[in-house]
Structure 1
Amino acid sequence: MNTATSRTALIVIDAQESFRRRADWPAVSNPAIVEQVNRLVDVARAKGDLVVWVLHSEPGSGTVFDPALGHVQLIEGLEPRAGEPIVTKTSHNAFTTTNLQQLLTGHGVAELVVCGIRTEQCCETTTRIGSDLGYRMVFVTDATATHPIEHRDAPAGRSLAEILADPATLGTDEIIARTEYALAGRFARIATVVELEKA
């Protein structure tokens, strides 16, 4: 890869084993997330673009995001190549607690393509921050994934079935739509995997 001429970077956010260890994984919006991300990775590599892998870590939390438990690693089927940076964050966005911006500046990157988990959380937040930092942002919704969100007043400790049966639970289709409405024309261009493959 000729890093001196890389103007676009693919940012793969939190596509990690931690999420597959959560009770809500069966309700994930995009079971084919690994396949979709790999298609974008193939596009980026073919163009000579930078691919950056981002992992989320919560040291000492005792959760699936605690690196001590061994789940803070890419989901099986995602394989960084030698020279592709892997950065670990502890904030919702990929910039605040990492050297990502310095890394991108060093590679002359002006445009970021965002994919990963979760659509409305770390992916959307990174996109908003990236836009504010002056990057051209491309949000590839069908290469992101998310889960239903309980109402803020919902009782704790419910089963996944109870959460999904609750009419106050926000479904993944609505979450995804809201994210696209919030980002499009303000923070990012919304794209699909197929569109980027054909570009």
Structure 2
Amino acid sequence: MSRAALVVIDVQESFRQRPNWACASQPAIVDQVNRLVDAGRRRGDLVVWVLHAEPGSGDVFDPAHGHVRLIDGLAPVAGEPTLVKTAHNAFTTTNLQQLLTLSGIREITVCGIRTEQCVETTTRVGADLGYEMTFVTDATVTFPIPHRDLPADASLAEILADPRTLSTDDVIARTEYALAGRFATVRTVAEVVRQLQPGAPGAVPVGA
């Protein structure tokens, strides 16, 4: 059994129902996640799928609308748990920590949506809990962030036209600066896949 896990956070249909999906920082998120999943499975890592739900909210995260499901092209296999959270991080409202403890996991790789929100928050909490965290930036998605003074009902066009809007490049850069050397090792998909190859330096053999 490997000591490592891949946690895929909120790569769900809910986000594709919002207008700002047209501005997603990583349109190929499904392909990127599948590269990590395939590499993790080959090495025998635990793959954990996480979805975000807000029951009763009436929006795209309300399970009643049917969007709280993985984006097409992603599919757990037998033995891979799917957890549903109601908080930003994947630990507080799920049994993720218990699951990882029972599996002997000490190293966690994270990816998903959104870069600076649920994925970053999970990374910070995981680090505080003592896990060795790897944050795979190009297997995350974020969107332009409006200034706090912009009306909550501003259209996507208004958000993009506002010079105060934080671009996806800026969001990603700030997240990497905040995490690297403090809460996580920041890597690319290519770097993680290369490291997970059997026999790669630092790789944990299946059955270790």
- Interval of TM-score (by shorter of Structure 1 and Structure 2): over 0.9
In structure 2, the residue matched to 1:85 is 81
Query: Which residue pairs with 1:31 in the alignment?
Result: 27
2:139 to 123, 140, 143: 143
What is the alpha-carbon distance in structure 2 between the residues aligned to residue 76 and residue 39 of structure 1? 15
Q: What RMSD in Å do the two structures reach over aligned CA positions? A: 0.6
Match of 1:68 among 61, 64, 71: 64
How many Å separate the matches in 2 of 1:136 and 1:34? 24
One-letter code aligned to 1:137: M
Letter in 1 for 2:157: A
Which residue of the partner structure matches residue 128 of structure 2? 132
Q: Secondary structure at the match of 2:19?
A: coil
2:49 maps to which of 43, 46, 53: 53
What percent identity do the matched residue pairs reach? 71
1:97 is matched with: 93
Aligned to 2:119: 123
The 5 Å alignment of 1:156-195 reads: 156-195=152-191
Residue in structure 1 matching 2:15, options 9, 12, 19:
19
Output the amino acid matched with 1:173.
D
Separation of aligned partners in 1, 2:160 and 2:115: 18
Q: Which deviations, in whole Å up to 9, do the C-alpha atoms of 1:85-121 show, x marking residues without a partner? A: 0000000000000000000001100000000000000
CA distance in 1, matches of 2:78, 2:84: 17
2:7 paired with 1:6: no
User: For residues 33-79 of structure 1, what are the alpha-carbon distances to aligned partners after superposition, in whole Å with 9 as ceiling and x for unaligned?
Assistant: 00000000011001000000000000000010000000000000001
- Whole-Å Cα distance in 2 between the matches of residues 132 and 156 of structure 1? 33
In the other structure, the counterpart of 2:148 is 152
CA positional deviation for 1:190:
0.4
Could you tell me how far apart the structure 2 residues matched to 1:6 and 1:21 are?
36
Any idea what the Cα deviations from partners look like across 1:123-144, whole Å, max 9, x if unmatched? Answer: 0000000000000000000000
Residue 76 of structure 2 aligns with an amino acid whose one-letter code is P
SS in 2 for 1:11: strand
CA shift for structure 1 position 156: 2.7
Alignment-mate amino acid for residue 106 of structure 2: A
Hey, what's the Cα distance between the residues in 1 that align with 2:81 and 2:192?
22
Q: Report how many aligned residue pairs link the two structures.
A: 195
Instruction: Measure, in 1, the Cα distance between the counterparts of 2:194 and 2:90.
Output: 27
Gaps of 5+ in 1: none
The alpha-carbon deviation at position 6 of structure 1 amounts to: 2.2
Matched, 1:198 2:191: no
Return the TM-score normalized by structure 1: 0.97
Amino acid at match of 1:59: P
